[in-house]
Amino acid sequence: MQQLVMPKPELIIVLASPRGFCAGVERAITIVDKALEKYGAPVYVRHEIVHNKFVVNQLEAKGAVFVQELDEVPANAHVIFSAHGVPKSVPADAEARDLHYFDATCPLVSKVHREVEHHHAEGRTVLLIGHKGHPEVIGTMGQVPEGSVWLVETVADVATLPSALQGNDLAYATQTTLSVDEVVEIIAALKARFPEIYGPRKEDICYATTNRQLAVRKLAETVDALIVIGAPNSSNSVRLVEVAKNNGCAEARLYQRAMEIDWAWLQNKKRLGISAGASAPEVLVEEVIDACRDHFCVTLAEIKVVEEDVYFNIPGQLRS
Positions annotated as catalytic residues are: 136
CA distances from residue 96 to 81, 87, 93, 99, 100 in whole angstroms, order as listed: 16, 15, 5, 8, 11
Residue 255, beta-bridge partner list:
229
What gap in Å lies between CA 91 and CA 99, rounded to an integer?
A: 9
Q: Return all residues near 75 (Cβ < 8 A) that are at least 6 apart.
A: 97, 98, 99
Contact 172, 192 (CB under 8 A): no
Q: Within the chain, where are the H helices?
A: 23-39, 53-62, 89-96, 107-121, 135-141, 155-160, 180-193, 207-220, 235-246, 282-295
Examine residue 18 and say whether the peptide bond preceding it is cis (omega within 30 degrees of 0). Answer: yes
Choose among 135, 138, 157, 136: nearest CA to 146: 138
CA 100 to chain centre: 26
Q: Cβ(171)–Cβ(198) under 8 Å?
A: yes
Question: What is the distance between the terminal CA atoms of the chain, rounded to a whole angstrom?
Answer: 67
